[in-house]
Each structure stands twice: as structure tokens, then as C-alpha cells.
Amino acid sequence: MTVLNSAAPAHVSPLKVTPASPLFLREDEIRRGIELLYFGYTAMIRGADAILEAQGLGRAHHRALYFVARRPGLSVGELIGLLGITKQSLGRVLNDLSGRALVEQKVGTSDRRQRLLFLTPSGAALEARLFTELERSMARAYGEAGQQAVTGFWAVLMGLVPPDGRAQVEALQGQG
Amino acid sequence: MTVLNSAAPAHVSPLKVTPASPLFLREDEIRRGIELLYFGYTAMIRGADAILEAQGLGRAHHRALYFVARRPGLSVGELIGLLGITKQSLGRVLNDLSGRALVEQKVGTSDRRQRLLFLTPSGAALEARLFTELERSMARAYGEAGQQAVTGFWAVLMGLVPPDGRAQVEALQGQG
DNA sequence: GCAGATAAGTCAACATGACTGTCCTTAATT
DNA sequence: AATTAAGGACAGTCATGTTGACTTATCTGC
């Protein structure tokens, strides 16, 4: 039961996918989703590893850089919330990043206890290089699968996020 | 631009998703995919952590158990290939699992150098409990998003896997 | 039959990135 | 003025990955 995806752009060879059956909650189809999510996620993040290693940084640094790039001026506490790690764990990462002058911290305006995080120019340059790697994988996958598939991809992933976490994800994407 | 997904089953409240725009390769839509993949993946695997912790096991043990359950009788080398880790890393995990009598190893039939991996009854019981947790997340997400979205979800994820790795993923799902 | 390749196991040392717990400073809230 | 909250720092631990080196058993090609 393999078909061609008619929504794929004409300039790329369309990706053959087995469509979900009407019984798409069967164990086999659940396992297919689990496995594709695992392999797809690891394939995407692996793309940036070489750049990170050349800088002496790890994936934890990448995640922090990513979110600071996405939401310049977010507070340490907000970043802890997004990453789901402890203050102590993030502390080491942030110390590495400020020691290398990739991230800087400014005192909060409305609440002076907060430290707001920003990328330095060199931090922004590194994040851009890392993003380009992720983008390459993601753009290829989007292109092969087609616009309609992308909507489905988002819908299932958003469904995986527990309802009380969805607002946080949407907020990240709200104003660009 | 938020619409209801008409493919969602009638018995659940349909998940609102922002559909991909015709310009679905813009940076914002790429970032949306990166973020949803990150949050969706971590949300799914987090579900099993409590069970694992109660057994004194970690996520590495879970991954090994999962693939042995999925492909009983696979060799150590095949499992190393699926997990993308070294023999030494897997060795420790496998020692833990056989020490707890969750996995057993049998000498290969066609090649007696190989050790083929199987779950014991208690290993199968544990894997089933862990799977139920993942399934709960995934089935909810499938149900909210609808059958058509699931096909798109699979297509994009398969597109993320580099072409030379796709056969391995398909093989895992080939004969059930 | 033998040489070399392959599958697997093991030991050691080390890196990364989490965790807990505790203590401290500073600033906001009440 | 007292309490709470945001953040930083130090210490110790754990889980999970890495290299590298060595061993054993078995298979394969000549």
C-alpha cells in the first residue's frame, strides 16, 4: 500500500509514504509513529553536531542558543521553563556561553532581579550557522512531503504536547 | 489563520492547528517544525520516565528494550546500528538488562558468533507497560489530528531521515 | 588447514549533561 | 521589616555517551 504524495512540489522527486490506514490507532501504526519520531528527531539534531564540536560546545549549548535567538530578551527563568532543566544545569551552560561571549545578560527593566538573555553578534553568527544545518534537513523533508503533509506533521506533534504546555509552544511562535 | 481539522474523529474535540502556508519553507515555518519536533519528542518519551525510575532504569534501557520487543532475535550488532551508539555503551545497558533477567541472549543459528536478543516474560511485561505510556500520548495525538494528518506526520519524519537510513526504518516496520 | 576478518565482551579513562542539596545576594512584594 | 522570588555558585552524584586496547570465538577465503 505505497502511493506517491501528489502534494509534493514538481521539482523534487516525491517521497513515497505508506498512508495511515483507517485503523490508524493499531499498535503497528503507533509504533511506526514512535520510531519515525525517534529517527527523525535524532537525524535532525545530529546535523549540527560537527559545528558544535568544532566550537567545543554540546547539544545543551545549542538548545540554549536556539531559544535565545528565537526570543531575544527572555529571562533565565523562562529559558529554564522551555528547556525543562534545573537552574544549576542551565547555569553551567550559560556560563560557558557568556565566557565565550556568545550570550550576554542584561538586568531586567520591569523586574531588576531578572537577567534577560541576548545573543552577541558572534553568538548570532554561530546560531545562524547551526540553524542553517537544521533548516537543511527540515526544508528537504518539508519539500519532499509537501505542504499538506507539513500541516499534518504540526498537528500530530502539537497533539503530543500535553494541553497545559501548548500555550507555551504557541507563544514561542506567536510574534515571530 | 486558525482552522479546525475536519479529518478529526467526531468523538474528540478537534485540534486547532495553523495550517502550513504556501510559503511553507519560510524560516518561521521551519522553526515551527524544529520546535514542535523538540517539544513533541520530549513530551512523548517523558511519559515513561516514572516507570523506568521505579525500576532503576534509564532511557537508554528503554530504547534497547523497545527495539528488542520490536524485533525479537535481532543481533547485538543490529541493535548497535539502530541505536547509533558504540558497543561499549550498549554493553553496559545490556548487562543491566540481563542482570535483571529482562533480556536474554541466544547464540545465533546461522552465525554462532552472534548473540541474538530476546525479551524474557518479565522483560516483555515491562516493555508492554512502557509501550502503553508512549501509546497513550501517540494515540491521543493521532486521534486529535486525524488520519490524514498522521500520513503527513510520517511523510515529513521519513523525509528527515537521510535517504541511506530509510531502508533500515522501513525494515523495522516491514513484517510487523 | 590456516590467515585474516568479523561479532561480541571487557576493562579503563574520560566527557557531557542531567540531578540534588545547600548557601548566598539582590530585589520585589506584602 | 519580613517574606518571597530570581538568580548565581559550590559540591557531589548519576546516566550515558565517547576512545582505545585487548580477548575470545567463529566465519570466510585462499
- Please spell the DSSP secondary structure of B121-151, one letter per residue: HHHHHHHHHHHHHHHHHHHHHHHHH-HHHHH
Nearest CA in chain B to A38: B41
Q: Is B44's CB within 8 Å of A27's CB?
A: no
**How far apart (Å, rounded) are the C-alpha atoms in residues A29 and A19?**
10
Contact in structure between A5 and A149 (CB atoms under 8 Å): yes
What number is the average pLDDT over the span A159-171?
A: 95
Residues of A in contact with B148 (CB under 8 A): 20, 148, 152
**How far apart (Å, rounded) are the C-alpha atoms in residues B141 and A158?**
7
Q: CA-to-C1' distance for A124 and C1, Å? A: 65
Confidence of residue A10 (pLDDT cuts 50, 70, 90): very low
Q: Phi first, then psi: what are they for B57, rounded to 5°? A: -115, 165
| SS percent in chain A: helix, strand, coil, step 5 | 65, 10, 30
- Whether the per-residue pLDDT at B4 is higher than 70: the answer is no
Q: Is A148's CB within 8 Å of B152's CB?
A: yes
Rounded mean pLDDT of chain B?
Answer: 91
Number of A–B residue contacts, CB under 8 Å: 239
Residues of B in contact with A144 (CB under 8 A): 155, 159
Task: Give CA separation, B163 vs A16, A43, A133, in Å.
Answer: 12, 11, 17
Rounded mean pLDDT of chain A?
Answer: 90
What distance in Å separates residue B43's CA from the closest CA in chain A? 6
Of B5, B40, B66, the CB nearest to A160: B40
pLDDT above 70: percentage of residues in chain A: 88
DSSP 8-class letter at B71: S
What distance in Å separates residue A40's CA from the closest CA in chain B? 5
Confidence of residue B11 (pLDDT cuts 50, 70, 90): very low
pLDDT tens digit sequence for A13-28: 456 677 877 666 699 9
**How far apart (Å, rounded) are the C-alpha atoms in residues A24 and B150?**
8
Q: Is A169's CB within 8 Å of B36's CB?
A: yes
Residues of B in contact with A161 (CB under 8 A): 36, 39-40, 43
How far is CA B169 from its chain centroid? 11
- Whether the per-residue pLDDT at A1 is higher than 70: the answer is no
Confidence of residue A79 (pLDDT cuts 50, 70, 90): very high
pLDDT tens digit sequence for B40-50: 999 999 999 99
Q: What is the pLDDT of residue B19?
A: 81
pLDDT above 90: percentage of residues in chain B: 83
> For chain B, which residues make up each domain, given as ranges?
40-139
pLDDT tens digit sequence for B93-133: 999 999 999 999 999 999 999 999 999 999 999 999 999 99
Q: CA-to-C1' distance for A6 and D16, Å? A: 42
Domain A47-138, CATH 1.10.3470.10 — does that match?
A: no
Name the residue among A35, A1, A2, A5 with its Cα closest to residue A150: A5
Q: CA-to-C1' distance for A100 and C23, Å? A: 27
> Which of the two residues, B118 and B21, has the higher pLDDT score?
B118
Q: CA-to-C1' distance for A60 and D11, Å? A: 21
**How far apart (Å, rounded) are the C-alpha atoms in residues A112 and A24?**
52
- Domain formed by B40-139, architecture: Orthogonal Bundle (1.10)
Q: Is B160's CB within 8 Å of A151's CB?
A: no
Q: What is the pLDDT of residue B6?
A: 40
pLDDT tens digit sequence for B128-150: 999 999 999 999 999 999 999 99
Q: What is the pLDDT of residue A176?
A: 62
Name the residue among B55, B127, B155 with its Cα closest to residue A141: B155
Name the residue among B17, B50, B158 with its Cα closest to residue A141: B158
Confidence of residue B17 (pLDDT cuts 50, 70, 90): confident
Number of H helices, E strands in chain A: 8, 5
Which residue do the cell numbers 494515540 mark?
Answer: B139
Q: Phi first, then psi: what are they for A81, rounded to 5°? A: -65, -40
Nucleotides of C under 7 A from a protein CB: 6-13, 16-22, 26-29
**How far apart (Å, rounded) are the C-alpha atoms in residues A171 and B7?**
26
Q: Is B33's CB within 8 Å of A150's CB?
A: yes
Of B28, B137, B143, the CB nearest to A25: B143
At residue A101, the 3 state secondary structure works out as: coil
